[in-house]
Amino acid sequence: MSDLRFASPWLLCLLLLVPAILLYLRTARDAPAVTVGSLPAGPRVGRTWRLRLEPLLPGLRLLAVALLVLALARPQRSEATTETSGTGIDIALAFDASSSMTLPFSRSTTRLQAAEDVLSRFVKSRTDDRVALVVFQGRSLTLSPLTTDYAAIDADIRNVERIQLTPGTAIGVAIGQSVNLLRSSTAASKIVILLTDGENNVYSIEPLAAARIAQKLGVRVYTIGVVTPGGVVPGPSRGEVDEASLQAIADVTGGTYNRAEDPAALQRVYERIDQLEKSRFEGKTVRRFDDIAPYFLAAAVLAIALELLLAQTLFRRVAA
- Asked whether residue 320 is assigned to any structural domain, the reply reads no
Per-residue pLDDT, 252: 97
Digit-coded pLDDT (tens) for 66-89:
888 888 888 888 765 544 444 579
Tell me if 158 is assigned to some domain: yes
Determine the Cα–Cα distance for residues 299 and 278; give it in Å rounded to an integer: 45
CA 181 remoteness from chain centre? 23
Dist CA 235 CA 251 (whole Å): 30
Q: Do 247 and 257 contact (CB within 8 A), yes or no?
A: yes
Q: pLDDT band at residue 32, thresholds of 50, 70 and 90?
A: low
How many other C-beta atoms are found inside a 10 Å radius of the C-beta of residue 179? Answer: 24
Tell me: pLDDT of 201 over 90.
yes
45: pLDDT confidence band, cut at 50, 70 and 90?
low
pLDDT of res. 85: 44
Residue 16 lies in a domain: no
Mean pLDDT for 53-75 is: 81
Above 70 in pLDDT, residue 23? yes
Residue 239 forms part of a structural domain: yes
pLDDT surpasses 50 at 237: no
Range of 106's domain?
89-279
Give the mean pLDDT of 54-76: 82
Average pLDDT estimate for 86-115: 89
**Residue at 4 is within a domain:** no
Q: Which one has a higher pLDDT value, 210 or 305?
A: 210
Highest mean pLDDT among 5-19, 153-167, 228-242: 153-167
What mean pLDDT comes out for the span 120-138? 94
Average pLDDT over residues 296-305: 88
Domain assignment present for 197:
yes
Q: 303 lies in a domain?
A: no
Distances (CA, A) of 152 to 95, 244, 272, 292: 16, 34, 24, 49
Query: Does pLDDT of 260 surpass 80?
Result: yes
Show Cβ contacts of residue 119 under 8 Å, excluding neighbours closer than 6 positions.
Answer: 93, 95, 157, 195, 270
From CA 262, how far away is CA 239, in angstroms rounded? Answer: 18
Residue that wins the pLDDT comparison between 309 and 118: 118
pLDDT band, very low/low/confident/very high, at 293 (cuts 50, 70, 90)? confident
Domain membership flag for residue 218: yes
Residue 174: give its domain's CATH number. 3.40.50.410
DSSP type of residue 83 = P
Phi–psi pair at 147, nearest 5 degrees: -155, 160
pLDDT for res 278: 77
Query: Over 70: is that where the pLDDT of 36 sits?
Result: no
Confidence check: pLDDT of 33 > 70? no
Q: pLDDT over 90 for what percent of the chain?
A: 48
**Residues facing residue 92 across a β-bridge:** 132, 192
pLDDT of residue 231: 43
| pLDDT surpasses 50 at 235 | no
CA–CA gap between residue 212 and residue 254 (Å, rounded) = 11
Residue-averaged pLDDT of the chain: 83
Q: What angle do CA 247, 278, 287 make, to 5 degrees?
A: 125
Closest CA to 98 of 35, 166, 48: 166
User: What's the confidence (pLDDT) of residue 236?
Assistant: 35
Please answer whether residues 249 and 211 qualify as being in contact, where contact means their C-beta atoms are separated by less than 8 angstroms: yes
The helix (H) or strand (E) run that includes residue 152 is helix 150-158
Cα 40 from chain centroid (whole Å): 81
pTM over 0.95: no
39 alpha-carbon distance from chain centroid: 80
Of 54 and 271, which is predicted with more confidence? 271
Phi first, then psi, for residue 95 (nearest 5°) are: -120, 115
**pLDDT for res 78:** 72
* pLDDT at residue 239 in the model: 47
Domain count, the chain: 1
Tally of CA atoms within 13 A in the half-sphere of 114 that contains its CB: 27
